[in-house]
Amino acid sequence: MRLEVLFFGVLRDRFSEREELLQFPGSTVAELLRYYRAVAPESAGIWETIAVAVNQQYATAATVLRDGDEVALLPPVSGGAGDAR
């Protein structure tokens, strides 16, 4: 199955903006997250808090992936401008 994976936040620093998986062997969001957890073990803490969107719709771990899907991996956002006095 071919997937296009988009990375945001700190994941973009580790991977790139996007990656095309030409032969992903899994079938669910949970399996995709396991795959990336194995590829980037140094980022272990982030995978439990990540939000996932499939074709621009939020998805759960049980969401079934289909050939050609676009999957966005969205880590939590922190920081900001602080006190705007």
Q: Which residue has 């998986």 as its token pair?
A: 21
Q: Evaluate if residue 3 carries a pLDDT over 80.
A: yes
Counting Cβ atoms within 10 Å, is residue 63 exposed (0-12), middle (13-18) or buried (19+)? buried
Q: How far is CA 59 from the centre of its chain?
A: 11
Fold classified for 3-74: Ubiquitin-like (UB roll) (3.10.20)
Report d(CA 27, CA 3) in Å as an integer. 11
Domain boundaries, the chain: 3-74
- State the pLDDT at residue 59: 97
Query: pLDDT (tens digit, 9 = 90+) per residue, 22-72?
Result: 998 889 999 999 999 998 888 778 888 899 999 999 999 999 999 999 999
pTM for this model (two decimals): 0.85
Report d(CA 11, CA 76) in Å as an integer. 10
Q: Evaluate if residue 83 carries a pLDDT over 80.
A: no
Spatial CA neighbour of 3 closest among 76, 70, 78, 82: 70
